[in-house]
Structure 1
Amino acid sequence: MLAPLSGPIIPIDQVPDPVFSERMLGDGIAIDPVDNILLAPVDAEVVQLHAAHHALTLRTDSGIEILMHVGLDTVTLRGEGFSPQVNEGDKVKAGQPLLQFDADYLACHARSLITVIVQTGPESLTINHPASGHVNAGRDRLLTLDTSPSIGDTDTPSQAQGEPDAEASVRIPNPEGLHARPSAVLAKLCHQCHATVKLACHSIEARGDSVTELMKLNTRLGDDVTIKAWGVDAKNVVASVVAAIESGLGEDVASTSTQTSTTEETETPLLTNEKSDPRRLSGVRAAPGLGIGKLIHIRRQHPELQEWASDIATEQHQLNNAISSTCDDLRQLVTKLAAAGEQEQSEIFNAHAQLLEDPALAETANHMITKGRSAAWAWNDAVNQQVRALQSLDNPLLAGRAADIDDVGQRVLSVLTGISFGTENWPVNAIPVYLDITPSDLLSLDRDRVAGVCSLEGGASSHAAIISRSLGIPYLAGMDSRINEQPDDATVIMDADAGYLLLSPSEQEISQCQTQKDLAERTYQDALQTTTQPAITQDGTHIEVAANVGGLDEARKAVELGAEGIGLLRTEFLYLNRTTEPDEDEQTQIYSDIISAMGKERPVIIRTLDVGGDKPLPYLPLPEEENPFLGERGIRVGINRPTMLRRQIRALLRSAKVGNLRIMLPMIASLEEFRAVRKLVEEERQSLESSIELGIMIEVPSAALMARELAREADFFSIGTNDLTQYTLAMDRGHPKLASRIDSLHPAVLRLIAMTVEGARAGNRWTGICGGIASDITAIPLLLGLGVNELSVSVPSLPPVKARIRELSLADCRALAQQALAMEDATQVRALLAQWKDKE
């Protein structure tokens, strides 16, 4: 090993920190650096980069792991003063820069600059010829590691087999999580125990006796960690580990333990509704519907994988066959879904097939196979590396892609191991509870046996949510963690529309729910009979009912169900899940096909690209933002990248010749923004000799407040109530703790809708609503009373929405709206609507 830094050598036993001096992490050496760039001491792979960037671990091709820890107590700096030059998974050469640090800052804020280099595995290694005196980075030898024993002989496989003999969970009290010092204490404890111990956190599992693996868990203060143990003394071992973690593993955690218990366990939020039913567990509505069934907790039990194999060629052949077989299965699934008109699902699994065709995963796995690993072990490790890398970016969308990679990885692993997790033993009307459900999980469900699904993670914009909605399976994401306390086979009522799960329902409550479900089905079937007829109120006002669609298949389905147009065509489907931007001709063809499917008599409103926030594009690098929802998203992306916007506008104008097209701009917040884009549209309109209406989405309060001024220049308004509610109430609509308080019927939102309608009328413009509230049957009388001219709803909602409008008198709706505008909160508004419905 070469010296990674220049400076005087310090023997490991003289380092002023017992974790290092007592070799709790392993044997090694230290340097008091005189420079500030940490170099790779050997050719290796970066297998772990701590979140605080003060430490990283390398693994050589022969399996030797080397931990380098810059400074003492530098974890508390939380990355300040450090600039990593590599990422986890990178292959590095000896002498290559790994990490740059601000030596002056560290000298002022850390205990010491002493940098420790420790070999953390395998245990059979011995250190020879350690350097002394002064060394020069990248030139002088630091030490020699003797690897004479065979790695395969000394790396004893884990004895963990099947279900653990003991298991418990504990909350991390350490301010910086399990960094090097507490990990070393814990690993020493586990190494001395008469049992095999594993810890799990963030869907990552680690050996308890491995410091490197423990640090890879990337734990933080307050994280819940699961401890599992196998062996005759497993119960006592788990209890000892829990006690050690609770005590802080050598760190003072008295203040954090008190704070955690006070704020998270005993305090009651001020806005908790004391009258609420304690049997209700809240969640985020990911797919609507009612369900009555029995809970089934899905605990993914991964098979114990044999790490080492003797026949490299056989293992590589098995892996390649498993990947090829899985890819063929996915392609068949894509074809089947496309033929059934399930375009969104088809695109999701097409993306999964493309993930498998990407050589990176297979190359990583095959490289490990050449080092003696089995196909299953190597593939599982390669997948986990990719998943952890994406999850560590702390980006909701990329975390979703991590779930896709994990989904694909499990498909291949099931082929390699021959183990699958079937649903044949589930009860009828099961409601499975997942940590995070994948698209494959959903499509493998027997819909005749499932009443709904829940997950503790995930949200309303995930791939799983899209599929659940298309399958008609109620889905609650971001569930209250207390659901884990409920036993399997517990009977519950799921009300995904209201966003809660009701525990221990009475016979009367179950009967009422079933009656409600039966009534909803009969009402829907009745509405289907008249769905192609116009939606005209009792006093003769026609309300246009259009559809929100995401592609050609949905457009065709919308025509069948009586849509009078498309109120919102989201063009993101053209740009997502690909590596390059669609060109002008491709866009023109797709837009033209959709407009043609609707016919010349039905207007089609196409929204320009709406990305940013939670919808980044891989080929469109956006700056990292502290709050992307308040940054470069929606029309701002097009304004800042006019070439891309101009290509889309040209494609839209070219496609306008085949039907009745209108263009809509997302996230307009000011006249200045609208005028800038209108100028671009006008330039292209003249060059193409095309005529088109240009409208805007009202999604931010400033646009509603300026509606009168905007109506003088925009041709129409369409209110996106989902974002308007989010920005008005300053609440993320995907936040599990705030979900029950995010309601588009809040009086503040209703007043902005009324202001928008009034501004539009002053300019002789019309106003539509394309947000989720337009599909809420309960809210329709109120929306009509506020003066909305058009409702654009989800395709399945077309029949009931049109049927409801035909039951209403516009005069009565206006009186209702005036009452609602005077309410104090959304709860009062919904109570008013319920009373009004009862009087009908």
Structure 2
Amino acid sequence: MITLTGKKVSEGIVIGRLVFFNRGEREIRKIYVEDPEKELVRFQKARKKTAAELQELYEESASELGEANATIFEMQQMVLEDEEFVNRVVRMITEQKLNADYAVKESVESFLKVFSVRPESYVRGHETDVQDVASRILRILSRGRKDRMFMDEPFIMAARDLYPSEAVKLDKTKVLGFVTMYGSINSHTAVLARTKGIPSVIGIGEALKRDYEGKMVIIDGFDGKLYIEPDQTTMERMKQKKQQNLQKVETLERLKGKENVTQSGQKIDVCANIGSREDIERVLRNDANGIGLFRSEFLYMESPGKLPTEDQQFQVYKLAAEAMGTKKVVIRTADLGGDKLPESMDFPGENNPMMGYRGIRISLDKEEMFKTQLRAILRASAFGNLQVMFPMITSVEEVESAKRVLERAKAELKEEKAAFDENIKVGVMIETPAAVMISGEL
């Protein structure tokens, strides 16, 4: 038995034979053409068809997985329409008289080199989406068919990487789960795997060899493991773990739509804990009474090289508010610091970073950043039942200071005549010993 370890992306246990996904990419050759105008027409037609396919993917995703996940393909549409990318391809065709295929390939590579390192670029952190669009254009230019996988029996898929447009098309009746050599847990592919409920492990690296093709394997999506030719003990252990998880899921399914009542007869709310816009669909699907904790710091973690803008945050909070209707959505202001260190910020070294400079102390120290977030929350409060919660509180003074910033944000929005809930509820998270001791005053 061989055990490989990667990053856990989507929970679950699946057992099956390993099949490698072949994208069927061909070598792109550099060819000088006699008729650049004809080549330009080829490129524009391929762009148009790519746009149509992306729109189709958007509509399918919105229907099956919800609007939040479908926005992935809106971002890909931005790549397709990016002036710098398009102009680069056009120049290579018209000025250098190169074939469209090669012009697209070279332009994408140059595009990624330049824009993936710019802090303000929408490309940074979404390189796979750019490659996904390029692959689609090149497939259309070569008159290739849409990617499909044909297997008679359900299987576990292995790949070097997987594009979002490939992940969204995975047929759960055929693809039991998937593993990849590369990838990020915050990638659009990872998000789609979780939303579709397909057990998966990514980032295994070169240890995932083609020699394993056809072998019996087990994906343990709970622990990020891939077992190749598992021994009998491991097989039995995984089957038992799978059955226990199945029973848990079935129990939860039966409870959907029912009131949440304790054995003593007390009605309670069971709310969700989320960290991104993609989680919102699962909250709705699993019948939560609301969102009890929206960990907003992940918006900062997933915004490589720069802080999320007010409008970017507003759109996410608004989506949550509208999706939940009258149900409450408690947004915890960014609990940065400790193990949550976004690239866009510098943090001092500490002996105890988990309890030191983090949470509300960072927010109060970086007041403009804090006020920007509060403005976004307030604006979104006009669309639902939003509430604000401050993290890592250790004193009454911190709460009072945070409320003063909130009042300044309200005053600005009033002056701008922007709609918001003037009576938005405000609370704190009791998570420090100091907060416990002064909880009566808070």
Q: TM-score higher than 0.5 here?
A: yes
- The one of 465, 469, 489 aligned to 2:190: 465
Deviation by residue 1:445-478 (Cα, 9 ceiling, x = unmatched) = 2322111111222232221111000011111122
Deviation by residue 1:90-127 (Cα, 9 ceiling, x = unmatched) = xxxxxxxxxxxxxxxxxxxxxxxxxxxxxxxxxxxxxx
Structure 1 gaps, min length 5: 1-277, 617-621, 699-703, 715-840
- Aligned match of 2:418: none
Deviation by residue 1:499-556 (Cα, 9 ceiling, x = unmatched) = 2111212467546645654564454334322233345555677764211357899657
Q: Distance in 2 between matches of 1:654 and 1:310?
A: 57
- Aligned match of 2:19: 296
Structure 1 residue 359 and structure 2 residue 83: aligned?
Answer: yes
Deviation by residue 1:631-682 (Cα, 9 ceiling, x = unmatched) = 9997677546545543543554466578654212357688776553232124
Task: Report the RMSD for the aligned CA atoms in angstroms.
Answer: 4.3
- The one of 603, 621, 633 aligned to 2:328: 603
- Aligned match of 2:224: 499
- The one of 428, 431, 436 aligned to 1:708: 436
- The one of 653, 657, 680 aligned to 2:405: 680
Please state how far the C-alpha of 1:303 moved relative to its aligned partner. 1.3
Q: Distance in 1 between matches of 2:30 and 2:335?
A: 46
Structure 1 residue 525 and structure 2 residue 250: aligned?
Answer: yes
Q: Distance in 2 between matches of 1:576 and 1:583?
A: 10
Cα gap change, 1:409/1:495 in structure 2, threshold over 3 Å: closer, same or farther?
Answer: same
- The one of 487, 493, 515 aligned to 2:212: 487
Cα gap change, 1:648/1:380 in structure 2, threshold over 3 Å: closer, same or farther?
Answer: same
- The one of 310, 313, 322 aligned to 1:593: 322
Contact 1:337 1:345 in 2 (8 A): yes
- The one of 416, 428, 432 aligned to 1:695: 428
- Aligned match of 1:368: 92
- The one of 560, 564, 570 aligned to 2:289: 564
Structure 1 residue 409 and structure 2 residue 130: aligned?
Answer: no
- The one of 300, 319, 327 aligned to 2:43: 319
Q: Distance in 2 between matches of 1:506 and 1:427?
A: 26
- The one of 311, 321, 324 aligned to 1:582: 311
For residue 289 of structure 1, what is the amino acid of its counterpart?
A: G
Q: Secondary structure at the match of 1:582?
A: helix
Q: Distance in 2 between matches of 1:390 and 1:553?
A: 25
Q: Distance in 2 between matches of 1:706 and 1:406?
A: 49
Contact 2:321 2:329 in 1 (8 A): no
Number of residue pairs the alignment of both structures matches? 421
Q: Secondary structure at the match of 1:355?
A: helix
For residue 492 of structure 1, what is the amino acid of its counterpart?
A: V
Contact 1:335 1:346 in 2 (8 A): yes
Greater Rg by CA: 1
Contact 2:393 2:435 in 1 (8 A): no
For residue 29 of structure 2, what is the amino acid of its counterpart?
A: Q
Q: Secondary structure at the match of 1:545?
A: coil
Q: Distance in 1 between matches of 2:216 and 2:6?
A: 17
Alignment of 1:696-775 (within 5 A): 696=429, 698=431, 704-708=432-436, 711=439, 714=442
Cα gap change, 1:614/1:467 in structure 2, threshold over 3 Å: closer, same or farther?
Answer: farther
Q: Distance in 2 between matches of 1:327 and 1:641?
A: 41
Deviation by residue 1:686-710 (Cα, 9 ceiling, x = unmatched) = 8875252222485xxxxx3544356
Q: Secondary structure at the match of 1:296?
A: strand
- The one of 38, 61, 69 aligned to 1:337: 61
Structure 2 gaps, min length 5: 415-420
The farther-off stretch of 629-638 and 557-566 is 629-638
Contact 1:322 1:412 in 2 (8 A): yes
For residue 74 of structure 2, what is the amino acid of its counterpart?
A: N
Contact 1:552 1:593 in 2 (8 A): no
Contact 1:436 1:458 in 2 (8 A): yes
Please state how far the C-alpha of 1:568 moved relative to its aligned partner. 2.3
Alignment of 1:382-397 (within 5 A): 382-389=107-114
For residue 15 of structure 2, what is the amino acid of its counterpart?
A: I
Q: Distance in 2 between matches of 1:400 and 1:420?
A: 29
Q: Distance in 2 between matches of 1:452 and 1:381?
A: 33
Deviation by residue 1:314-336 (Cα, 9 ceiling, x = unmatched) = 11111111112101211222133
Contact 1:305 1:376 in 2 (8 A): yes
Answer 1 or 2: which has greater strand percent. 1
Q: Secondary structure at the match of 1:451?
A: strand
For residue 563 of structure 1, what is the amino acid of its counterpart?
A: A
- Aligned match of 1:192: none
TM-score (structure 1 length as normaliser): 0.44
Please state how far the C-alpha of 1:399 moved relative to its aligned partner. 6.1
Q: Secondary structure at the match of 1:338?
A: helix
Structure 1 residue 346 and structure 2 residue 70: aligned?
Answer: yes
Structure 1 residue 418 and structure 2 residue 164: aligned?
Answer: no
Q: Distance in 2 between matches of 1:314 and 1:439?
A: 31
TM-score (structure 2 length as normaliser): 0.78
For residue 297 of structure 1, what is the amino acid of its counterpart?
A: F
Q: Secondary structure at the match of 1:306?
A: coil
Q: Distance in 1 between matches of 2:389 and 2:381?
A: 13
Contact 1:296 1:426 in 2 (8 A): no
Please state how far the C-alpha of 1:495 moved relative to its aligned partner. 0.8
- Aligned match of 2:163: 438
For residue 465 of structure 1, what is the amino acid of its counterpart?
A: A
Alignment of 1:212-231 (within 5 A): none
Q: Distance in 1 between matches of 2:312 and 2:148?
A: 44
Q: Distance in 1 between matches of 2:272 and 2:43?
A: 45
